[in-house]
Structures are given as structure tokens and as C-alpha cells.
């Protein structure tokens, strides 16, 4: 039995804020969730790393009717996933400094196999919004979720209970404006949002841009626009995302906002892999075929 440590959630959350996360929540894990992690997981810390909407943006290329550009959405313009994991690793190293625990006792995750939206909501980082994403008043939904399991107990001050405003408390202000559906639902080009937090994946542009679907159906094809990777329609329409929101500063995996769609179509597998290596589009599951398919949809013959 290793020596036990008990930390106050407040101190841990403060260290995450100092590391550049915009919000953090640390809490005791329930036994079912603790079993998701290998090793001695007793607690968990969920963090939000913002990418915001103030990135230094190249202006939209002039559309002369023959536009061949393909756009990369803000969440993928830097490798925020890796940046978040890197920051958590540093925090974990600090927590290990007393030598009580091993590196493997802290399991860091970001865009992992775990259901991160569930963890973020269940352990109090944010609330699920009607567009299916996790929303926090501090950064809207313009952040990536990252977290780590902790091998020690967390002490929490009792918190005031959430004001009960129904299933989507943060979306309450969007409803009842006489137009029936909330802005995120209306903004989705293919009508993929049910409005109850569910996304019909076969109608979600980003689902195809991530390599799903053997063929892209006409509804999605006709609404594709100039998206190479990422669709922000349901986020851009959200009232929380419309104020200026700072993103964290990172240089990891920088990608341009616009790429030449026709040039991308002609690039070999090797050239595409080399170009996107280390970026948010360098994931093993995002194949050169998928990238070329999205580029072709941006630049139909």
C-alpha cells in the first residue's frame, strides 16, 4: 500500500489555472469510472484548454467564383490536444515531486478513447449544450477537454447546488425567442442536430471530414462549402461563443487557415502525411484519402 496523500481540490484546480487552463474541476472518482483507468485511480481532474475565437486570422481569399481554398477550423489550427496533455504532464510531474507516486499512476487523456464529454459533465467541469458539446460560461464551447486520473483522495468543500434550469441550463437563454429552434440547431447546414444534445452523425459534415462514411451523400456534399477539416457552424451560432474569447498560446502543430484545395488533391500520401505530421490533422485515423476527399468537395471539378 503506497503512502496516501490527500489534496484539496481548490489547490489542484488553482495549479491548473496557473498552467493556462481556463477552468478545472477535481473530484473523487466513482468506482465504475475509477475502473476505466489502469492503476490506482481515486480522483480525477477535468480541464478546459481554450482555443477561443481570436486567432490571428488570414482574411478569407477573395471569391471570384473559382475559389479553390479549403479551410481548417480554429480547433485544429494548433495541436491543442497535445498542448493540453503537455501541460497536464508538467502538473503531474509536480505532484510526483515528493516521490510518492510513479508516472503511470497519473493517466492523462485528451481526445482519447474515454467518453470525455460524459466525464466533463459528470465531474462538474461544464454542462452539455443543445449542440452536443460541453459548455462553460468562461469559454463557451471553444475549448478542448483534457484530464488526468489521480492516485490520491481529493477533499472538496461542499458547493452550492446548480440552479436547476432543466436539462440544458446554459442553453436556457437561447430558447423561447419565438423562432422555435435554438440557433445551433438552425445553423447546422445539414440539420444534424436534434436539439436535445444528440447529433445525427450521418448528417454532420465533420463526421465525414474525419473519415467516416463510405460515400458523402448529396445533402452533405451540397452543403460542404470550403471546409477541409472542422465545422464550426453550431459553435459560431452559440451566444456564448460570440464574444471575444482568448485562446491559449501554443506553437504546437501550427496549420494555415486556408489551403489550396486543388493542390491538396494532387499531393501524394507521403506528402500529406509529412505536411500534417504533429498537427491536429496528423492523427493516424485521418488518412490521406480522407483529406483528399474533403479537398475535392471544396473544389468540385
Instruction: For ligand B12, give the closer residue by CB, 152 or 229.
Output: 229
Report the distance separating Cα 152 and Cα 11, nearest Å: 14
Q: What is the DSSP string of 62-128?
A: P--S---EEEE-GGGTTTHHHHHHHHHHHHHHHHTTTSSS-GGGS-EESSSSS-HHHHHHHTTS-EE
Residue 225 in the binding site for ligand B12 (CB under 6 A) = no
First to last CA, the chain: 66
Pick the binder of ligand B12 from 72, 150, 204, 265 (CB under 6 A). 204
Instruction: For ligand B12, give the closer residue by CB, 192 or 267.
Output: 192
Residue 114 in the binding site for ligand B12 (CB under 6 A) = yes
Residue 196 in the binding site for ligand B12 (CB under 6 A) = yes
Q: How far is the CB of 212 from ligand B12 (least distance, A)?
A: 7
Report the distance separating Cα 134 and Cα 168, nearest Å: 10
Instruction: For ligand B12, give the closer residue by CB, 95 or 185.
Output: 185
Which residues from 1-20 bind ligand B12, rule CB under 6 A? none
The CA dihedral of 241, 233, 148, 251, to the nearest 10 degrees, is -80
Q: How far is the CB of 109 from ligand B12 (least distance, A)?
A: 7
Instruction: For ligand B12, give the closer residue by CB, 67 or 114.
Output: 114
The total number of residues written for the chain in this structure: 301
Pick the binder of ligand B12 from 16, 72, 148, 231 (CB under 6 A). 231
Residue 201: which of 217, 184, 225, 182 has the closest Cα?
A: 217
User: Residues in the site for ligand B12, rule: CB under 6 A?
Assistant: 73, 75, 110-112, 114-117, 131-134, 141, 143-145, 196-199, 201, 204, 206-207, 210, 230-232, 234-235
Amino acid at each position: 500500500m503506497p503512502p496516501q496523500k490527500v489534496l484539496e481540490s481548490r489547490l489542484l484546480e488553482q495549479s491548473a489555472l496557473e498552467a493556462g487552463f481556463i477552468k478545472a474541476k477535481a473530484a473523487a472518482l466513482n468506482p465504475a469510472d475509477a475502473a476505466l483507468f489502469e492503476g490506482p485511480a481515486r480522483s480525477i481532474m477535468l480541464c478546459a484548454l481554450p482555443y477561443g475565437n481570436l486567432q490571428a486570422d488570414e482574411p478569407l481569399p477573395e471569391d471570384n467564383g473559382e475559389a479553390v481554398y479549403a479551410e481548417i477550423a480554429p480547433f485544429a489550427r494548433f495541436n491543442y490536444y497535445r498542448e493540453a496533455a503537455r501541460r497536464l504532464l508538467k502538473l503531474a510531474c509536480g505532484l510526483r515531486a515528493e516521490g510518492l507516486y510513479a508516472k503511470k499512476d497519473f493517466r492523462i487523456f485528451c481526445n482519447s478513447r474515454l467518453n470525455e464529454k460524459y466525464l466533463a459533465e459528470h465531474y462538474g467541469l461544464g454542462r452539455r449544450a443543445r449542440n452536443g458539446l460541453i459548455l462553460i460560461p468562461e469559454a463557451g464551447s471553444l475549448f478542448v477537454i483534457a484530464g488526468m486520473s489521480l492516485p490520491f483522495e481529493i477533499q472538496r468543500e461542499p458547493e452550492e447546488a446548480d440552479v436547476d434550469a432543466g436539462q440544458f441550463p446554459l442553453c436556457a437563454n437561447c430558447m423561447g425567442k419565438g423562432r422555435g429552434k435554438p440557433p445551433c440547431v438552425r445553423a447546422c447546414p445539414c440539420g444534424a442536430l436534434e436539439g436535445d444534445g444528440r447529433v445525427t452523425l450521418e448528417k454532420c459534415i465533420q463526421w465525414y471530414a474525419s473519415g467516416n462514411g463510405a460515400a458523402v451523400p448529396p445533402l452533405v456534399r451540397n452543403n460542404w462549402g470550403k471546409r477541409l477539416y472542422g465545422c464550426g457552424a453550431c459553435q459560431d451560432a452559440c451566444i456564448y461563443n460570440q464574444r471575444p474569447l482568448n485562446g491559449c498560446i501554443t506553437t504546437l502543430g501550427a496549420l494555415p487557415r486556408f489551403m489550396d484545395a486543388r493542390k491538396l488533391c494532387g499531393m501524394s500520401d507521403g506528402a500529406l502525411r509529412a505536411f500534417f505530421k504533429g498537427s491536429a490533422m496528423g492523427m493516424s485515423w485521418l488518412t490521406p484519402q480522407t483529406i483528399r476527399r474533403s479537398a475535392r468537395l471544396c473544389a468540385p471539378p
